Amino acid sequence: KLFTMRDYIAICKQIMEEEGRFEAEVAEVQAWWSSERFKLTRRPYSARDVVSLRGSLKQSYGSNDMAKKLWRTLKTHQTNGSASRTFGSLDPVQVAMMAKHLDSIYVSGWQCSSTHTSTNEPGPDLADYPYDTPIIADWDLFWRHTATVSFAKLFGGAWAAGWFISRTQSSVTNEMWSLAGKVAVAVEHIIGLSRQRLQFDVMGWRQPWLLVKTLEAELQPSRTLACNGQLKTFSECVTDAIKSMNIGEYEKRRRLNEWMNHSSYDKCLSHEQGREIAERLGLNNLFWDWDMPRTREGFYRFRGSVDAAVVRGRAFAPHADLLWMESASPDLAECTKFAEGVKSMHPEIMLAYNLSPSFNWDASGMTDEQMRDFIPRIAKLGYCWQFITLAGFHADALVTDTFARDYAKRGMLAYVERIQREERKNGVDTLAHQKWSGANYYDRYLKTVQGGISSTAAMGKGVTEEQFKETWSRPGAMDTGGAGTEVVAKSRM
C-alpha cells in the first residue's frame, strides 16, 4: 500500500505526540529529583535515561507509602537527636508485637536464612500482622549484577520500606562481617548502589526508597584483608624514606610536613598522585609494591580502621541515604570519630548503628546505666536508626528453651504460669490466637459470598476461644481479699 500525504501527516502527528509525552515524563522525573528528598543524592545517569528504560504501562507500589513514612520518621529523629530503635523480627507474631511499641521493623537476612524460611516471607500471610509500620530488610546478595536489579523489584513488591546492602563484601567471598576472611569491595559498591537506584527510578517509585549503605567493619585483624603488621602503606614508606634522607633537620621536617599535608585521609590521594608528590620531595623511584603482599586468591591487603571507614563513608554518602559503620564492639569513641569524620563533609547524612548481639555486651566494660543510655547517646551524634539484628532469634530460643525445660518437669502448670497467665496479665493479643491469626476475617469472607449466613464459621458457637471471654473461679488460687480467686480473661481483639 502506498502512503498518501494524509498517512504521512498522521504518522508525524503520532510521533510528535509520543515525543511530547516522553519530554513531559522527563520533566516530571527531573522535578521529582529536584525535591528536598533528593538534594543529597548523586546519580550517574540522566532523567532521559530513566524514561527511555521504562515501559508504557505504569504501575504503583504500596512500598512508596512505607518509604515515605520511614523517611519522615528518621528525619524527625535526626532533627530531635533521637533514634528509631528496632530489632530483627523472626516471624509475623513478633512483627505484630513490635509494631505496638516501635516505629520501624527490621528483618534480618541472617535470621531468615538461619531459620530456613523457604517462602521468602517473614511468615504465613494468614496472620493478622500490621502492614503500616515501615519494614527495613537485610539484603544478603553481595552485589551479584543481575540479582541487584531483580531483588530491587522483588523487595519493592513485598512492601519493604527500605533495606541495607550487604556490608560491602565482594560477591566472590560471602562471609558476613563477624566472620574472618572478608573481602571488601571498592568502586564496585558505588556501581551497585547506582544500579539499584536506577531500578527504582525506572519503576517510578514516587516516594523514593531508603537505601542503607553498610560500611565494612574495621579493627578486625583476623579478616583476609587485615594488614600484616610488617607491611607498610605507601604513606609510611614515604615518611620513612624522608626521615632517612641525608639532609638537614629543618628541610627534613619541611618535607615531612608537606607530605603529611598532601597525604591525609581527607585528600584521598591515588597511588599515582602520591608518587608524583613524593618525586617532588626528592624521592625518585621509591620502591613500594602493593602486589607483593597480595593473598593467594589475589586480593590486596587493606588495613581497616575508623579513618578508612570515614573515607569510604564520604565516598558512598552521595549514593545512599544512611551510612553504617560496622564495629567490633560497642565503642562510643569510635561512633563519635566516624560521625564527626563523615559529617565534616556531609553534615546532613543520616547514620545507622548495629547494636549487635554478636558483641559480648557484658564484656564491653559498660555499666548497666551506660548500656541503658547507649542508644540515646549515639543518637545525638546522628545515629537516627539503631537495630539489634538477631534479637528475635535469641528471644525465641531463650523463651522456648526455658519453657521446654520447665514443661518437662511441671507439665501444664509451666505453660499456664509462664505463658497463658503472662499473656493475660500483659494484654498480649495472642492470648486469643485463633482470632489473631485471621479466623474472623475469613469468616466474614465466607459469609459475604453466602448472603451473611454460614453454619461452618470457624469462630461460631462452640469455638474454644469463647472461654477467654468469661469470668470464672480458679480453685487453689490464693485469696488476696477481694477478687483474688477470680480470673477475667481479657482479649483486646
**CATH number reported for the structural domain that contains residue 93 in this entry:** 3.20.20.60
Classify residue 489 by its DSSP letter: -
With residue 18 as reference, give the H or E element that holds it: helix 5-33
Q: What's the maximum distance between 2 C-alpha atoms anywhere in the chain?
A: 102
**What is the number of alpha carbons within 13 Å of residue 142 lying toward its C-beta?**
13
Question: Is residue 345 a part of any domain in this protein?
Answer: yes
Cell of 139: 539484603
What local confidence, expressed as pLDDT, does residue 31 receive? Answer: 94
In this structure, the number of other CB atoms found within 10 A of the CB of residue 308 comes to 18
Distance of CA 180 to the CA centre of its chain: 22
113 and 174 in one domain? yes
List, as residue ranges, the binding site. 138
Alpha carbon separation from 179 to 8, 62, 176, 206, 242 (Å, rounded): 67, 36, 6, 38, 39
470 and 336 in one domain? no
- Burial (CB count within 10 angstroms: exposed 0-12, middle 13-18, buried 19+), residue 203: buried
Alpha carbon separation from 288 to 17, 200, 244, 278 (Å, rounded): 62, 43, 16, 12
Pick 486 or 74 by higher pLDDT.
74
270 and 190 in one domain? no
311-349 tens-digit pLDDT = 888 888 888 888 988 888 999 999 999 999 999 999 999
74-121 tens-digit pLDDT = 999 999 999 999 988 888 888 888 988 999 988 877 676 666 555 554
With residue 165 as reference, give the H or E element that holds it: strand 162-165
d(CA 491, CA 493): 5
Question: Is residue 287 a part of any domain in this protein?
Answer: no
Domain that includes residue 420, residue range = 411-488
Q: Is 210 helix (H, G, I), strand (E, B) or coil?
A: strand
140 and 14 in one domain? no
59 and 12 in one domain? no
247 and 115 in one domain? no
Question: Is residue 217 a part of any domain in this protein?
Answer: yes
pLDDT-based confidence at residue 230 (cuts at 50, 70, 90)? low
**What is the number of alpha carbons within 13 Å of residue 52 lying toward its C-beta?**
5
236-270 tens-digit pLDDT = 889 999 999 999 999 999 999 999 888 876 677 78
- Burial (CB count within 10 angstroms: exposed 0-12, middle 13-18, buried 19+), residue 309: buried
371 and 321 in one domain? yes
375 and 342 in one domain? yes
| Number of structural domains the chain divides into | 4
Asked whether the CA dihedral 271, 276, 278, 279 is positive or negative, the reply is positive
Question: Is residue 216 a part of any domain in this protein?
Answer: yes
Question: Is residue 294 a part of any domain in this protein?
Answer: no
d(CA 446, CA 388): 41
289, pLDDT greater than 90:
no
Amino acid at 486: E
Across the chain, mean pLDDT equals 77
Question: Is residue 405 a part of any domain in this protein?
Answer: no
Question: Is residue 66 a part of any domain in this protein?
Answer: yes
222, pLDDT greater than 50:
no
Residue 89, Ramachandran bin (φ over 0: left; ψ between -120 and 50: alpha; else beta): beta
Average pLDDT of the segment spanning 15-29: 93
217 and 239 in one domain? no
pLDDT-based confidence at residue 61 (cuts at 50, 70, 90)? confident
Domain boundary among 280, 310, 345: 280
Pick 321 or 296 by higher pLDDT.
321
160, pLDDT greater than 60:
yes
What local confidence, expressed as pLDDT, does residue 110 receive? Answer: 67
462 and 343 in one domain? no
- Burial (CB count within 10 angstroms: exposed 0-12, middle 13-18, buried 19+), residue 286: middle
List, as residue ranges, the binding site for Mg(2+). 138
- Burial (CB count within 10 angstroms: exposed 0-12, middle 13-18, buried 19+), residue 482: exposed
Question: Is residue 263 a part of any domain in this protein?
Answer: yes
182 and 55 in one domain? yes
pTM: 0.73
255 and 163 in one domain? no
DSSP calls for 92-105 = HHHHHHHHTT-S-E
Domain boundary among 394, 423, 456: 394
